[in-house]
Structure 1
Amino acid sequence: MNIAWWLERAADEYPDHVALVDGRSGSSWTYAELRDNADRVGTVLRDRFGVRPGEVVATLLPDDLWHTAIFFGLLRIGAVFSGFNRTLGFDKFAADVTRLETETLVAGPDYLEVAHRLVAETGVGQVIDVGTGSATDLLDLVVTAPVGAPVIPRVGDDPAAVNFTGGTSGVSKGVVFTHGSLSLSAQGSLVLDRLRSSDVNLSCISLYHSGGIHDAVKWTMAGATNVLTGGWDADVAARLIEHHAPTWIYFWVPTMVRDLERHPRWGELPLAGVRTILCGEPVSAELQGRLIERGMVAQDSYGMSETMPVGILKPLVAHGERPPLGSCGRPVPELCETVLKDPETGARITEPGIVGEVCVRGGVVSPGYYNDPARTAEAFDAEGFLHTRDVASFDADGWWFLGGRTDDIINSGGEKLSLVEVEAVLRSHPDVLDVACVSVAHERFGEVPAAVIVTGLDEAAAAQALDAHCLHHLERWKRPRLYAAVESVPRTMPKRTKDMRALRDLVADIVLSDADNVSHLSKITVRP
């Protein structure tokens, strides 16, 4: 088993079909061209640079055609791919290459300086540059390389990729994707979502993310066309939707949707019939409903990097039933076993309406974190279930509803409170462009919600208006007691989940009291 065999198959069955489109440059490759370029890349990496089977090779590259060819080229020769998040800083890169014990880093022109610094300060042995025109430019070497090298056999448990996650909220975790788990996950999407070679997908997720890796594999399995946005940008996305008329936007984060809804051409975009999987954060029924009103088939689904990142709660339906808006679906026993457990006792939850932690085990689940036995052991329980730290509940009909992270459940005055619920109410106010809630210390209640908002109002006016809004839509004790207006909400990846560490740092030295009532950051008294 080797994931690269799927590219061989696609090139044989659909040689002239467009495989990839670079949304920034407009260039494209057929499946025959992608296969041949991946073949040549693998040959050069093996013969010129000595990359061996099982070796982890890291990349610092833009999301373009060649990055995908390098991904498949590494798999062809039995090596392991690890795409680095380009938005992070040097210390994160240094920690990640140290964890990987990687000897080889492939870097584009914009990242060569940091790449050579990694050689000087860590164990990286060589940098392979891409697109620089130097004597060791991989692209120039590939031009004269032969094709026809065999794909190295792998077994299901062999690593195919290492994806670092959680890097901006602490020390990164290198999630291992095996050839078996990645293949099963992508095949699950192929079958459950009925992907076809005629499909065109707008890929909004980078190859340094599990969703980008999943896009590269499953659309190749389908023989379909994958249009690369090159990173999230609402202007670019609007242009590509108009030009390519995608049938899918497979991974779409609600923050991205809200960005595009504010775009001046939103109402003109050809979205009728486009299918999308909403992911990355809890999805409100209101947002899902707005997309359905535009004629889209908008599904909420659940997954994570550790499940590679197939929706382990797909909206499976039968006999004409429809999932309730806001539901992420039902578990998929064909791919994995998904249960709810009490986060304090570990007991399984079998009754509807009770909030618990999502726990999962099975073929699509990562075996653990690369070179990190302690955190691997911490993540799995004695039954072999991965504890996701995501909370959910299910109704009497078996439909599941996400409730955020275990970090999003706080105890305020002895009562459990969901920050996700508070965020949803705040987001419904017309003057709130983006929002994230975090707990802040309180002398009486222990902790209460604080709201970090992006708004056109000044901070004091926003606090007053939003407090009135929350009093109308929430129980009084659930409303935020502190508001902080910011230019952008800190997020762990571009336009993805909120960065809890940065949010906590924002309010770390603050202790509220009853005398403060509802306040805002610019006037609050900081107490020791």
Structure 2
Amino acid sequence: MMIFDRQKQSLLLDGRKYTSKDVSSLIKRGEKEFPHAIWELLLFLKEWFDDSPTLVVHTSGSTGVPKELLVSKDRMMQSARLTCEHLNLQSGDTALLCMNLRYIGAMMVVVRSLVAGLNLIVRPASGHPLADVKGPLRFAAMVPLQVYNTLQKEEERKRLEQIDILIIGGGAIDNSLAAEIKNLSGAVYSTYGMTETLSHIALRRLNGKLASERYYPFDSVKLSLSQENTLVIEAPLVCNDTLYTNDIACIYSDGSFTILGRKDNVINSGGIKIQAEEVEKKLHSLISEPFVITSVPDSRLGQAVTLLTMQPSNVEELENRIKSVIPLYYCPKYIYIVEQIPQTENGKIDRKACRDLAKKILLSQDVEKC
């Protein structure tokens, strides 16, 4: 039975139950008494149990300036209910919290635990969340980079294979990662949602017989397309307003949908509109290291397609390979080798920072030519 009265909720943490009074007592002991991840959890719980019907969450800023949003705790609980019912999460099931509690994805792991009575296991937000997790997990939520890193280490990979249900959000899942995920025995889903929808409103199965390229929304969610073919979301249980996204989508007759990319990431190069994410999909088979398609200002084209990559390869050879798999007008005019692909705090590609970095490199090279 799920509990929606916050004053009657308690958190099951590593098998031990904590009420709101317990949380207050623990906080009085001070920050130095606890590991950082536990202290962050206690602070979140203190805010959750207070009298305010709302709390502040932060957007990731992956496509622009990070924002603060005031969200309803009641709606967060409704979102938790939708996920727990859809995935059949039950009281006592183990759930892993391994993401930054500043963001909605991590907050919702805790709220699901409070509402459904899940047994929460807490680990620091890091690239290797399963490094010291003992025993199987019923449920976990991670970003793609955490899954990728986990698959690189045999012991951690074995632990990942013991997770019954894994949801992955906060970033794109490339073809190579998707191929590895298909071999996992547990149910793995990609999520679709945003801070405004209080985590996800749709899931896409990545492995097993139910694997699909399409996202399937929860029953209470209504979708449509704007005149620009961007997704419009009506999710009354979790959001008061109709949401007009920047995600270019295709909706099918059964209500499922696919995302082609973000309107923000359309590169207008010489009058040809190029979706950055579509080019990235085509290049995943060629480039094994992290990379991103972005753009720089160009006096002739308006915007020039630009590739930032961490792959220390011969640029000319890479150019030739790229030309063999994508049309010439999609090919990057510039290829820059960088030490890191800019990311936000929660592991998403920081598209704005990528554009700024590419522009900075272009300008520095122009100066060198002078």
Alignment partner for residue 330 of structure 1, among 188, 212, 216? 216
DSSP 3-state at the match of 2:161: coil
Residue 67 of structure 1: aligned partner: 40
DSSP 3-state at the match of 1:172: coil
Contact 1:204–1:228, Cα closer than 8 Å, also in 2: yes
User: Partner of 1:182: helix, strand, or coil?
Assistant: helix
Percent of paired sites with the same residue? 22
d(CA) in 1 for partners of 2:203, 2:164: 18
Select which of 239, 243, 247 maps to 2:132: 239
Unaligned runs of 5+ in 1: 12-18, 21-27, 45-60, 80-157, 344-355, 368-383, 512-520
The corresponding residue for 2:31 is: none
Cα distance in 2 for partners of 1:5, 1:274 equals: 28
* Within-5 A mapping of 1:124-139: none
Deviation at 1:314, TM superposition (A): 2.8
| Matched letter for residue 401 of structure 1 | T
Q: 1:78 to 1:302 in 2, by over 3 A?
A: same
The reply to whether residue 165 of structure 1 matches residue 150 of structure 2 is no
Cα offset, 1:292, TM superposition: 2.3
- In the alignment, the residues of structure 2 paired with residue 341 and residue 170 of structure 1 have an alpha-carbon distance, to the nearest angstrom, of 21
Aligned to 2:86: 192
Aligned partner of 1:504 in structure 2 is 355
CA offset at residue 392 of structure 1? 2.0
Following superposition, the deviation at residue 215 of structure 1 comes to 0.7
Bigger Cα Rg: 1
Residues 417 and 169 (structure 1 numbering): CA distance in 2 closer, same or farther, change over 3 Å?
A: closer
The question of whether the paired residues in 1 share the 8 Å contact of 2:202 and 2:218 is answered with: yes
Letter in 2 for 1:340: L
CA distance in 1, matches of 2:319, 2:203: 36
- In structure 2, how many angstroms separate the alpha carbons of the residues matched to 1:285 and 1:341? 29
Contact 1:432 1:453 in 2 (8 A): no
1:245 is matched by which residue type in structure 2? P
CA distance in 2, matches of 1:183, 1:444: 52
**CA distance in structure 1 between the partners assigned to 2:316 and 2:37 by the alignment:** 46
SS of the residue 2:192 aligns to:
coil
Counterpart of 1:314 in structure 2 is 203
Aligned residues: 362
Return the alpha-carbon distance in structure 2 between the equivalents of residues 258 and 466 of structure 1: 24
Provide closer, same or farther for how the CA distance between residues 196 and 468 of structure 1 changes in structure 2, counting only shifts above 3 A. farther
For residue 227 of structure 2, what is the aligned residue in structure 1? 342
Q: Distance in 2 between matches of 1:447 and 1:171?
A: 22
Checking the alignment, whether the CA contact within 8 Å between 1:510 and 1:527 is kept in structure 2 is no
Mapping of 1:46-195 within 5 angstroms?
Answer: 64-79=37-52, 158-159=53-54, 161-167=55-61, 171-195=65-89
Mark the CA change 1:480 to 1:396 in structure 2 (over 3 Å): closer, same or farther: farther
TM-score, normalization by structure 2: 0.85
Q: Which amino acid aligns with 1:363?
A: P
Which digits, 9 at most, give the CA deviation of each residue in 1:241-272, with x for residues without a partner?
Answer: xx13222222x222222222333545544505
- The answer to whether the 8 Å contact 1:410/1:417 transfers is yes
Q: Which amino acid aligns with 2:333?
A: R
Q: What SS does the aligned partner of 1:219 have? A: helix
- Which residue pairs with 1:409 in the alignment? 266
Instruction: Call closer, same or farther: CA 1:74–1:522 in 2, change over 3 Å.
Output: closer
In the alignment, is residue 295 of structure 1 matched against residue 185 of structure 2?
yes
Equivalent in the alignment of 1:362: 235
TM-fit CA distance, 1:231? 0.9
SS state of the match for residue 294, structure 1?
coil
Instruction: Please report the RMSD computed on the Cα atoms of aligned residues, expressed in angstroms.
Output: 3.2
Post-superposition Cα deviations, 1:13-54, rounded to whole Å, max 9, x if no partner, equal: xxxxxx22xxxxxxx4612x3544225469x7xxxxxxxxxx
Secondary structure, aligned partner of 1:436: strand
- Asked if the contact 1:308/1:364 (under 8 Å) is kept, the reply is no
Match of 1:489 in 2: 341
Q: 1:363 to 1:501 in 2, by over 3 A?
A: same
Alpha-carbon distance change, 432 to 176 in structure 1, aligned in 2, over 3 angstroms: same
